[in-house]
Each structure stands twice: as structure tokens, then as C-alpha cells.
Structure 1
Amino acid sequence: MPLSESCEISHPSPPIILLGASNLTRDFPLILRLLQSSLKSPLDIYTAMGHGRSYGNWSRVLYRALPGITRCELWDAFPAAQAGNTTPLALLTDIGNDLIYGQSTETILSWVEHCIYQLSNRQAQITITLLPEASLARLSSWRFELTRRMFFPKNPASLADLKSKVRDLNQSLTALADQSQISVVPAPQEWYGFDPIHYRYSQRARLWKTILTQWGLPELSGMTARYHWLDSFYAVTQLTPSTRRKWGKLLQTPQPVRILDEGTRISVF
């Protein structure tokens, strides 16, 4: 996916907004291939993603930290009004990270509502994926404690508490979607394997088709796209976000960070 020279390009397809964390980051190239196959190129993509990403607070993985999705620069960069009849297409996924960080379901829901408010003001067609409640129901106590102690030692939550919060948050998200005419995609157990929160390798092409068809893209059902192992590294190595901290130093990167040969622009926040 080489970078081409910046120029004025007509974008016949609707703007696309993708909000999420590790699943979105790891599978972004697959999602891009599916969208390029079902929408007219070039595309205009705005995304706030990243491993461990929080919807509301700064979050850190190793030496890199990113601002909360509600606080990032995407909302300033994405135009408030669109010319013509193009309806922006928006996806909110990977919503459960903040439970591991110890946030309450009420706080997380308020962050999601903030994103929905911003997107609704731009008349976007919104899809939300629910948390993997069925997958977490199979999680054993020792696996949960091992993960918690290694990565989230300051969060004293128990497995029972986490399962209860996941159930409550899913119910709240479903109710919110019903009120706002938002598409909701459940997270069935077969999408996950030993890892209870990240999608199984063998399921990724199929499940992303299921998610993206909520935007009314029936062509996706017949598309042939496969996940490649190198996809996991693309977003990390090629899609530098506009604002990040690296070893504590605040860094800025102009956007769009990538302009592909056929004109697709990718802006990362």
C-alpha cells in the first residue's frame, strides 16, 4: 500500500469512520480490502484505533500512549457537514477495553454516547459491535487472574464482576441503539478461541463481512477476502496517529498519514 503524492482527489464514496482498539487495528488491512471491493474508490477513511485504546482516557501499551477516542483530533478533522447526498458510515467496536481499566459501565456508556452524538450531528449511519459476553462466560478464573496480574495489576476486579459489567454494558448499548436507530452486531462465541476478546484467525474475513454489511453493502457477501498474517503489523508500522506519546514525549504527525495509489486517504487519530 504505497504512499503517493498528495493531490486534489474526488471521493465518490461516503466518508468512513472506524473507532476501536486491537481487533480493529489488527484487521484494518482486511477491512480496507473489503471496503475497496464493495465501494467506489477512492475512499476517505477516518479512524481512531490502537492496541489497548480507551474511549475516554489516555491509554498506554509498552512505551506508546494514545489519547481517548472522545478526546482525539478526529472530531475536529472530520467535517461537520458533507456535500452532496453521501451519508458517512461509522463503526464503534472494541468497546470493552475500559472495563479492564476499571471504568464503570456508566462512564463507558457516556463516552459511547458522546461519539454517537458527534456522529449523529454528521448524519452518519452507525453500527456498534457488542462485547464478547458468550466468550467471556467460558473464561476460567486462573486465566483471568493471570491476565489481570500481568497487564492490569491495579484493577482489583474479579471475574464475576467483569462478567456482570459486560452483561450490563451490552444491555445498555442495545437499549441505546434501539433509541437511536443504530445497527447492533452481537459477538457470537464462535468468533473467539482460547483468547476470549480477540477474533479467531479463521473467522476474521467472515465476521467482518457480517459487521460491514450492516451499512447496506450486500456486495460483501460474495466477496473473497482473506486475512494475512502480515496484516497485524500494517497499522502499527504504516499508520502513525496524529497524536501520541512515545517514551513520554508528545509527538504529532500530519494527516492523512497515507494516500494510496488509487487515491484512498487514511487519517489516523
Structure 2
Amino acid sequence: MGSVIRLADQSFGPRMNMLIAGGRGRSFGSTSYFAMRRLPSILQCELWNAAQAQPPQATTAVVTDIGNDILYGRNVETIITWVSECLARLCSLNAKITLVGLPLARVRRLNASAFYFFRTFLIPRSRMDLRTTLQRAEEVDQRLRDEAATCGATFIEPHSSWYGVDPIHLRSSHAQAAWRSYLSANSHNVTAQPKVRNSLYYQVITPHERWIMGRKQQRPQPSIHLAGGSVVSLY
């Protein structure tokens, strides 16, 4: 996360106001669980109220990691309805939107053994099979392209080289390249690779709201203040 924040600050700062609804396994429309952590859905989190409360300003948005909801067993219509609502809210903010497609080139190379291993490891509650997952992934990706064309968003197809053995999470060595691509779709200032110190710091900051082992944690936002005057809020 630290590199992404620094890349965004490089592109849109100084005095950037960055709102992030992130977290592994995050769902667009339902509560998500990862290990001992629970997060509200992207549509239900406080990010939207925070965004509406901001004064009018140039806004850029990146919408990604949409495939999580396929492994949660959500059907195509449900997923697209959630993403469409997200895009509509961003359009109401006059945002320039980059919509990132699914890593189909990498997912298509999965065999059954690898699929069930990663499904069990990443989302133990999932009961999706490989064939259904691939079918839904293909349809969701095409529908995302249609949604991008409809709302005027820039669609980006992820490179298969950005992924390693894990077929859905960016390799750490390629994450900066991927995010430079995402951010440069609506900016021409993303060039150098930022050096991030204390990267673990960004991983442990409490967002606006989460549950750890059933205990609710909250933190006022913004929670990250950069030297150039930019602030970052986590939801």
C-alpha cells in the first residue's frame, strides 16, 4: 500500500486527498472476511459520505479487484449491479475513472489443483468450482468493458506477467508497474519508482471501521499524513 500511496502522491500531489477502500478479499456489496478480520462492503463503507463532504475538486478514481466477489459465489448480475452503483457514485463526483479488468490471461492457465488450493487458502468458505469461476470471470470482464464504455471510464486489461503463482494478487515485484499503469491512465506524471520506508506501517494502520476477532475497531480519518501535505483516509 505504501508504494501505491507514494505513486498517487507523485501523480496528483502535493496536498492530495486520497480515499482508499481496500483490504484483501474486499467485496463490493457484502461484508468480507479475511483470516480474523472483517470489513464492511465497499458500497456500505464510510468512503462515500467522506467523498460527498469534500469541496468540489478534480477527482480521479481507480476501481479494481472485482473478481473477489466471483469466489464468494455471487452471480454475474449481482456483481455488475454493485460495480455499476459504484461507478454511478463516482460519476456523480465528476471523477475520471480507471476500471481494471480481471486477470483472465493468468486465470485461464489455472489447473484444477491450483485453483482449489488458492480458493481454499484465500477464501475458505468458497464452494466455487473452476469451470463456473472461469465462465463467470469471462462474462464479468466483458460486462466491465461495457460498463466502462457506457460511463466513459478508461478500461485497463491487466498483464499476465504482473501475477505469479498466486493468480489474483499482484506480485510484489510487479505491483508498482501495475499501479503506474492504473494511475497514468488519467495522469502523465507517474514516472519514478518511489522509495517507501517502513512499508509495514501502512499495513497495520486501522481503517475507519473493522472487526478483529469479533471486536470492533475504529479510527478517525485521515490517518496518514505525508510530508508534502497530502492526506490519506482508509475505509
TM-score range, shorter chain: over 0.9
2:3 pairs with one of 25, 30, 41? 30
Other-structure match for 1:248: 214
Contact 1:148/1:155, CA 8 A, preserved across alignment? yes
Shift of 1:193: 1.6
Alignment of 1:55-66 (within 5 A): 55-66=28-39
Other-structure match for 2:188: 218
**Cα distance 1:109–1:235, how it changes in 2: closer, same or farther (>3 A)?**
farther
Shift of 1:192: 1.2
Structure 2 counterpart of 1:249, one-letter code: R
Contact 1:81/1:122, CA 8 A, preserved across alignment? no
SS for the counterpart of 1:201 is coil
Shift of 1:102: 0.8
**Cα distance 1:263–1:138, how it changes in 2: closer, same or farther (>3 A)?**
same
Shift of 1:162: 0.6
Q: Does 1:181 align with 2:181?
A: no
CA distance in structure 2 between the aligned counterparts of 1:177 and 1:147, rounded to whole angstroms: 29
Structure 2 counterpart of 1:31, one-letter code: V
TM-score (norm 2): 0.92
Shift of 1:178: 0.6
Alignment of 1:25-104 (within 5 A): 28-79=1-52, 82-83=55-56, 86-104=57-75
Structure 1 counterpart of 2:225, one-letter code: I
CA distance in structure 2 between the aligned counterparts of 1:63 and 1:161, rounded to whole angstroms: 28
Identity of aligned residues (%): 31
SS for the counterpart of 2:61 is strand
TM-score (norm 1): 0.81
Contact 1:191/1:199, CA 8 A, preserved across alignment? yes
Gaps of 5+ in 2: none
Other-structure match for 1:19: none
Q: Does 1:168 align with 2:139?
A: yes
Shift of 1:119: 0.9
Contact 2:7/2:194, CA 8 A, preserved across alignment? no
CA distance in structure 1 between the aligned counterparts of 2:129 and 2:171, rounded to whole angstroms: 25
Contact 1:204/1:227, CA 8 A, preserved across alignment? no
Other-structure match for 2:202: 235
Gaps of 5+ in 1: 1-27
Contact 2:25/2:68, CA 8 A, preserved across alignment? yes
Residues 151-199 of structure 1 show CA distances to partners (whole Å, capped at 9, x for unaligned) of 4444332111111111000000000111111100001211112111111
Structure 1 counterpart of 2:113, one-letter code: W
Other-structure match for 2:161: 190
Q: Which moved more, 1:253-262 or 1:157-166?
A: 253-262
Contact 2:101/2:144, CA 8 A, preserved across alignment? yes
Other-structure match for 2:232: 266
**Cα distance 1:39–1:52, how it changes in 2: closer, same or farther (>3 A)?**
same
Contact 2:39/2:210, CA 8 A, preserved across alignment? yes
SS for the counterpart of 1:157 is coil
Contact 1:54/1:69, CA 8 A, preserved across alignment? yes
- Two-structure CA RMSD over aligned residues (Å): 1.9
CA distance in structure 1 between the aligned counterparts of 2:13 and 2:172, rounded to whole angstroms: 28
Contact 1:89/1:125, CA 8 A, preserved across alignment? yes
**Cα distance 1:160–1:227, how it changes in 2: closer, same or farther (>3 A)?**
farther
SS for the counterpart of 2:189 is helix
